[in-house]
């Protein structure tokens, strides 16, 4: 089946702008599933919703600030799912930049990262061993920067569940690439953040459209 560029753009715009954040188990995810199901059906594709349980992080508010030029400056952030929020307390520490592509070549990470808030350039840590070394270096918080997307908005993301279960976690926030760049240019020396109302909601229903064949499925 050929891809229609106009339909593709329309679908992406609706999912990202009209619906917005689509975290697993939350209302945005359910709205996206319903929308995609209708789109499949309109194309004549056999489609239905499959439901399965997931664990969801429900956050009331989140704040991140950098210290430079003699004052604190607020920027946007987004808490990674599978990571803690410190029950609304401020976490304040010296700031350090860590280049994910080359930083893991260092033999000792603790001397650089211990008791620091770490701006981690590179959002996805491919090797679990590297993530283990990062956590064992004892940072007080991680600010993950997805350097594949050089925008100004923080993205929704999560630590791999296997990494979290095997290695543990620290408070981890997503930081937009442009904010990280600005922070480095302005020589920010400290960071602080707090996350309020992190409620772990286990076994929330998640829906995802499933498809089979090229004709509409007949309901009995």
CATH number of the domain where residue 150 is located: 3.50.30.30
Do 178 and 152 belong to one domain? yes
Nearest to 181 by CA among 143, 142, 134, 141: 143
Would you say 165 and 46 are in contact if contact means Cβ atoms under 8 Å apart? no
Do 163 and 65 belong to one domain? yes
- pLDDT of residue 208 exceeding 70: no
Do 41 and 127 belong to one domain? no
pLDDT band at 216 (very low <50, low <70, confident <90, very high): very low
Report for 30-39, 127-136, 201-210: range of highest mean pLDDT = 127-136
pTM beyond 0.85, yes or no: no
Residue 37 included in any domain: yes
Cα–Cα distance between 88 and 109 in angstroms, integer?
28
Residue 217 included in any domain: no
Do 76 and 163 belong to one domain? yes
Choose between 148 and 216: higher pLDDT: 148
Residue 152 included in any domain: yes
Report for 22-31, 78-87, 176-185: range of highest mean pLDDT = 176-185
Interval 87-112 mean pLDDT: 94
Task: Give me the domain span that covers residue 205.
Answer: 5-57+201-211
HSE of 29 in the Cβ direction (CA atoms, 13 Å)?
17
Do 51 and 157 belong to one domain? no
Do 129 and 31 belong to one domain? no
Interval 34-52 mean pLDDT: 87
Choose between 55 and 204: higher pLDDT: 55
Do 27 and 75 belong to one domain? no
Task: List pLDDT tens digits, range 187-204.
Answer: 999 999 998 876 665 665
Do 29 and 103 belong to one domain? no
Do 94 and 167 belong to one domain? yes
- pLDDT of residue 219 exceeding 60: no
């Amino acid at each position: 089946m050929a891809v229609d560029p106009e339909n593709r753009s329309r679908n992406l715009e609706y999912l990202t702008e009209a619906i917005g954040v689509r975290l697993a188990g939350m209302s945005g995810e359910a709205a996206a599933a319903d929308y995609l199901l209708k789109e499949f059906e309109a194309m004549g594709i056999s489609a239905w919703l499959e439901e399965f349980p997931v664990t969801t992080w429900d956050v009331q508010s989140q704040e991140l600030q950098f210290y430079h030029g003699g004052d604190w400056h607020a920027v946007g952030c987004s808490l990674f799912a599978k990571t803690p929020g410190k029950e609304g307390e401020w976490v304040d520490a010296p700031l350090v930049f860590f280049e994910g592509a080359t930083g893991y070549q260092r033999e000792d990470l603790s001397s650089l990262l211990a008791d620091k808030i770490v701006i981690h350039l590179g959002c996805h840590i491919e090797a679990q061993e590297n993530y283990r070394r990062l956590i064992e270096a004892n940072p007080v918080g991680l600010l993950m920067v997805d350097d594949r997307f050089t925008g100004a908005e923080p993205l929704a993301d999560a630590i791999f569940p296997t990494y979290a279960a095997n290695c543990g976690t620290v408070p981890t926030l997503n930081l937009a690439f442009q904010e990280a760049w600005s922070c480095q240019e302005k020589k920010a020396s400290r960071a602080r953040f707090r996350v309020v109302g992190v409620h772990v909601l286990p076994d929330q229903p998640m829906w995802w459209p499933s498809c089979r064949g090229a004709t509409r499925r007949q309901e009995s």
